[in-house]
C-alpha cells in the first residue's frame, strides 16, 4: 500500500522541480545537518540517532522531509524577487550603479571612435581587435547608459528587454504574454531550460550564502574553529555559482531576442493588426500596437487585416464545391 503511495507521489512531481527547487533545499538542510554532526562528532551523532526508537526515527525523518519540502516551496515563491535582487534593482541609486553607467558611456564612446577609424581605414590591427571585443561585450549591455544595471546579470537581462523595445517598438512586458503562445516548441523548451538553469544557480547561490554565514556564526560561537572548513568554503562556492548564472542568463537573453525576431509578426497576424511595411516603419507600428494593448487607444488609419489563411481555405472550399 505504502509503496504504491510513494510511486504515485513521486510520479506527480516534475523531474525539473525536484532538481531545481527541491534539490537545493535538500542540499541546504543536508549541509547544515553535516556541520552539526561535525560539531557533535559523527560517531556521537550516529549513537544519538540509534538511541531513538524506530517510531521516533520515522517521525523525525518525515518531519525533516516536510521541512525540506516547505523550504523548497518557499524558495520557489520568491523566485521573482530573488532574480530582481541579483539584477541589482536595490542598488540602482548607489555609487556602484553610477560607476557601471560611467563605464558603459566610456565603452560606447570608445566603440564609436574605433568604428570611425575603421570606416576611414585608419584603424590598426589592435584597434580592429578591440572593436570586435567591444562589440561582443556591448551586445549584453543596454545601449542607453541611463538604463545600465548595477550587476552584470542585470545588464544581460536589461539589454534583452531593450532589444525588442528599441528595434521593434514593442514593450516586452506587455507583448510577451501574447508572443509566448506563438513560440515554437523547440524555442519554448530552450527558453524554459535556460531559465531553469539560471534560477537553479541563483537559488544555490542564496542558500550557500545562508549556509556559510549562519553556520560560521554558530561554529564560531561554540569555539570549534576546525569545523569552519565545512562552512566558510560555502561563501566561495556561492560566488562561483553567482558567476555561473551568467552563462544561462546569456543563453536566455539570446533566445528572448530570437523569439521577437522570429515570431513577433505572428502576433500581428493573429490580432489582424496591419503588418509593418519596412524595418524603418516597424518601430512606430510596434509602439502603436503597444498603446492599443495597454489602454485601447487606436491610432488614425488602423484597419484590421483579413486572415489570408482563412481566405485561402474558403476559396479552396468553394473550388472543391464547384
Residue 295 CB burial class (10 angstroms; 0-12, 13-18, ≥19): exposed
Q: What is the mean pLDDT of residues 126-131?
A: 92
Which three cell numbers, joined as nine digits, stand for 73? 516551496
Residue 163 has pLDDT above 90, yes or no: yes
Residue 4 has pLDDT above 60, yes or no: no
Q: Report the distance separating Cα 212 and Cα 231, nearest Å.
A: 5
Residue 316 has pLDDT above 60, yes or no: no
3-state class of 306 per DSSP? Answer: coil
Q: What is the mean pLDDT of residues 62-68?
A: 92
How far is residue 37 from each of residues 11, 211, 219, 276, measured CA to CA in Å?
33, 15, 12, 66
pLDDT score recorded for residue 94: 84
pLDDT score recorded for residue 312: 52
Q: Report the distance separating Cα 282 and Cα 261, nearest Å.
A: 12
Q: What is the mean pLDDT of residues 138-165?
A: 93
Which three cell numbers, joined as nine digits, stand for 24? 537545493
Band the pLDDT of 296: cuts 50, 70, 90: confident
Mean pLDDT, the chain, rounded, equals 87
Residue 7 has pLDDT above 60, yes or no: no
Query: Which of 240-244, 281-285, 295-299, 312-316 has the least mean pLDDT?
Result: 312-316
Band the pLDDT of 193: cuts 50, 70, 90: very high
pLDDT score recorded for residue 315: 53
* Cα dihedral across residues 20, 26, 29, 31: positive or negative: negative
Per-residue exposure over 167-179, b if at least 16 CB sit within 10 Å of its own CB, e if not: bbbbbbeebeebb
6 or 313, higher pLDDT: 313
Band the pLDDT of 57: cuts 50, 70, 90: confident
3-state class of 124 per DSSP? Answer: coil
pLDDT score recorded for residue 3: 43
Residue 8 has pLDDT above 50, yes or no: no
Residue 308 has pLDDT above 70, yes or no: no
pLDDT score recorded for residue 307: 64
Q: What would the pLDDT profile of 70-124 be if each residue is shown by its tens digit?
A: 999 998 899 899 999 999 988 888 888 889 999 999 999 999 999 999 998 988 8
Residue 42 has pLDDT above 70, yes or no: yes
Amino acid at each position: 500500500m505504502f509503496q504504491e503511495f510513494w510511486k504515485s507521489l513521486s510520479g506527480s512531481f516534475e523531474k525539473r522541480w525536484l532538481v531545481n527547487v527541491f534539490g537545493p533545499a535538500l542540499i541546504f538542510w543536508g549541509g547544515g545537518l553535516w556541520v552539526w554532526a561535525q560539531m557533535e562528532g559523527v560517531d556521537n551523532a550516529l549513537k544519538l540517532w540509534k538511541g531513538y526508537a524506530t517510531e521516533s526515527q520515522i517521525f523525525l525523518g518525515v518531519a525533516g522531509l516536510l521541512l525540506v519540502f516547505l523550504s523548497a516551496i518557499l524558495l520557489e515563491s520568491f523566485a521573482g524577487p530573488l532574480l530582481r535582487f541579483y539584477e541589482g534593482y536595490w542598488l540602482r541609486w548607489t555609487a556602484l550603479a553610477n560607476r557601471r553607467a560611467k563605464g558603459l558611456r566610456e565603452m560606447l564612446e570608445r566603440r564609436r571612435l574605433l568604428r570611425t577609424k575603421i570606416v576611414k581605414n585608419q584603424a590598426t590591427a589592435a584597434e580592429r581587435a578591440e572593436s570586435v571585443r567591444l562589440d561582443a561585450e556591448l551586445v549584453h549591455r543596454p545601449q542607453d547608459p541611463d538604463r545600465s544595471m548595477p550587476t552584470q546579470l542585470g545588464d544581460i537581462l536589461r539589454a534583452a528587454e531593450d532589444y525588442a523595445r528599441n528595434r521593434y517598438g514593442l514593450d516586452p512586458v506587455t507583448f510577451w504574454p501574447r508572443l509566448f503562445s506563438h513560440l515554437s516548441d523547440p524555442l519554448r523548451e530552450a527558453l524554459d531550460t535556460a531559465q531553469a538553469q539560471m534560477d537553479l544557480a541563483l537559488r544555490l547561490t542564496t542558500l550557500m550564502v545562508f549556509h556559510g554565514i549562519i553556520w560560521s556564526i554558530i561554529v564560531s560561537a561554540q569555539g570549534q574553529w576546525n569545523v569552519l572548513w565545512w562552512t566558510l568554503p560555502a561563501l566561495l562556492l556561492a560566488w562561483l555559482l553567482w558567476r555561473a548564472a551568467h552563462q544561462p542568463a546569456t543563453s536566455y537573453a539570446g533566445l528572448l531576442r530570437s523569439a521577437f525576431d522570429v515570431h513577433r509578426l505572428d502576433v500581428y497576424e493573429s490580432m489582424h493588426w496591419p503588418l509593418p511595411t519596412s524595418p524603418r516603419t516597424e518601430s512606430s507600428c510596434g509602439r502603436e500596437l503597444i498603446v492599443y494593448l495597454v489602454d485601447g487607444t487606436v491610432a488614425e488609419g488602423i484597419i484590421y487585416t483579413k486572415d489570408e489563411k482563412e481566405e485561402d481555405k474558403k476559396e479552396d472550399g468553394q473550388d472543391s464545391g464547384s
